[in-house]
Amino acid sequence: MSNMTDAKITSAVVRPPPGDPLDLIASLALQKIDRDLFIGWGPTDNGDHFFGGHVIAQALLAAYETVETRVCHSLHAYFIRPGNVHIPVVFEVDRARDGGSFTTRRVIAIQNGEQIFNLAASFQVPREGLEHQFDMPNVAAPESLKEEKSWRDTPRPIDIRWTTPRRQGDTAKYPPHKEVWLRAKNTIGPDVHLQQALLAYASDMAFMETALRPHGIDWRTPGLQSASLDHAMWFHAPFDFNEWMLFDQDSPSTSQGRGLVRGQMFTAAGVLAASVAQECLMYIRPPKDA
């Protein structure tokens, strides 16, 4: 897409009025402007930059706008540039392939004529097959845990409860592993597109911190540079994200200024619903006078 075309599109779009900060479905809504072109916005109540999970969810919904009866089984995404929540995002869908059993889509997210994010997703005709899965870890029930509050003190659309929370400023070193309970606060309904989009949104929450744990640092550590580089997700089984889901995470490696985090998302009944992986930028910038 050319800069001129992008500018014409975005200049003609008006931001919807602010809504309920807990209404995640409304904040993810897309406006169709052509056969494979969509406009999306980010909420402005949590800073200037797009939350990575938000753009993942919107890109998946844009892909779903071009897919009829098939269900996403995997997505792979790269974060290229920081997104700006004060201007719209153009989502351009490429209908890469419609096969007998699988459909492939590529989605490019554009602001000011430049890619900020891209995603490839594959969709499959549901079918029966061989089955096995890992067991869900035995952890404290979510009802026994406190909800984690946003560091900006703004309402979150996702209820998050950590089984092993860290105190602010805690410099102790912990194993690179944790479990987090998650669920959507507002009713989603049975639409599998929205169920997957909201789970994809949540899969980028409380994730990168797992790679920081063995180093005794957190988001407020002076000089820490961090950002999501890529994100992959595989959907294994149906789920209802209005019910609690356990996000079991580990970080097998940090090196070369990057950290790798993996996760498994279980329903409360113990069904492995999705797997997630992310590589992130993470290093401590030396002091200027060093």
Q: Are residues 149 and 98 in the same domain?
A: no
- pLDDT tens track for 33-69: 999 999 999 887 777 888 999 999 999 999 999 998 9
Q: Which of 218 and 120 is assigned the larger pLDDT?
A: 120
Q: Which amino acid is at 99?
A: G
Whether pTM exceeds 0.85: yes
Q: For residues 148-160, give the mean pLDDT.
A: 77
Of 124, 153, 182, the residue at which a domain comes to its end is 124
Residue 6: band (very low, low, confident or very high) from pLDDT cuts 50, 70, 90: low
Q: Which of 124, 151, 184 is the last residue of a domain?
A: 124
Tell me: do 148 and 275 sit in the same domain.
yes
Q: Are residues 55 and 97 in the same domain?
A: yes
Q: Are residues 43 and 171 in the same domain?
A: no
249, 272 Cβ separation under 8 angstroms: no
Q: Is residue 132 part of a domain?
A: no
Q: CA–CA distance from 107 to each of 70, 95, 234, 240 (Å)? A: 17, 9, 17, 26
Whole-number pLDDT of residue 4: 41
Please check whether residue 228 is in contact with residue 278, taking contact to mean a CB–CB distance below 8 angstroms: yes
Same domain, 269 and 159: yes
In a domain, 135, yes or no: no
C-alpha triplet 78, 282, 223: angle, nearest 5°: 130
- Mean residue pLDDT of the chain comes to 91
**One domain, residues 161 and 116:** no
Q: How confident is the model at residue 2 (pLDDT cuts 50, 70, 90)?
A: very low
Last residue of a domain, one of 124, 154, 186: 124
User: Residue 266 is encoded by which pair of tokens?
Assistant: 């279980």
Q: Are residues 10 and 113 in the same domain?
A: yes
Question: For position 151, what pLDDT does the model report?
Answer: 52
The confidence score (pLDDT) of residue 204 equals: 96
**Residue 134 falls inside a structural domain:** no
Please indicate, yes or no, if residue 219 is contained in any of the structural domains.
yes
Annotated catalytic sites, by residue? 204, 228, 278
Question: Within its chain, how far is the Cα of 51 from the centroid?
Answer: 8
> Which residues are CB-contacts of 131 (< 8 A; sequence separation ≥ 6)?
none
Task: Give the Cα separation of 234 and 113 in Å (integer).
Answer: 30
87 and 163, same domain (yes or no): no
| Residue 33: both structure tokens together | 């402007």
138 occurs within a structural domain: no
- DSSP output for 5-73: HHHHHHHT--PPPP--TT-HHHHH--EEEETTEEEE---SBTBSBPPHHHHHHHHHHHHHTT-SS-EEE
CA dist 135 and 174 (Å) reads 23
* Rounded Cα gap, residues 76 and 218, in angstroms: 26
Domain assignment present for residue 33? The answer is: yes
For the chain, what percent of residues have pLDDT higher than 90? Answer: 77
3-class DSSP state for residue 263? strand
Q: Structurally, how many domains does the chain consist of?
A: 2
CA proximity to 35, closest of 61, 8, 65 = 65
Same domain membership, residue 175 and residue 203: yes
Q: Are residues 111 and 147 in the same domain?
A: no
- Structural domain includes residue 95: yes
Structural domain span for residue 277: 143-284
Chain segment 228-279, per-residue pLDDT in tens:
999 999 999 999 999 999 999 999 999 999 999 999 999 999 999 999 999 9
The answer on 114 and 32 residing in a single domain is yes
Outline where DSSP puts E strands in the chain: 31-34, 37-40, 71-79, 89-98, 102-111, 114-124, 158-162, 177-184, 224-235, 245-255, 258-267, 272-284
In this structure, are 104 and 33 located in the same domain?
Answer: yes
Examine residue 251 and state whether it is found in any structural domain, yes or no: yes
Tokens of 284: 């401590």
Output the domain CATH number for residue 204: 3.10.129.10
Q: Could you tell me the two tokens for 232? A: 């992959």
